[in-house]
Amino acid sequence: MQGYSTGAKAGRAFFHGAASVATLGLWELVGTPAEITFNGDEMAFQVSYDENDLVDEVKLITKE
């Protein structure tokens, strides 16, 4: 899953919490669908290694 870093997740969680309190819960009507939409992309890769066990090639298999 490709998405946000830990720091970005914490910042987003803080913002959503503060917005929810400030709007008496109305922010959840906008914030929850936005989080579902922007939560990251599922991806798969094929990784090939050389004789020294170093990465030789990386191929994107799927991106959904």
SS (H, E, C) the chain: CECCCHHHHHHHHHHHHHHHHHCCCCCHHHHHHHHHHCCCECEEEEEEECCCCCEEEEEEEEEC
pLDDT tens for residues 6-60? Answer: 787 788 889 889 998 999 989 888 888 887 777 777 778 899 999 999 999 999 8
Q: Is the pLDDT of residue 2 over 70?
A: no
> For the chain, which residues make up each domain, given as ranges?
6-63
- Token pair for residue 25? 């819960």
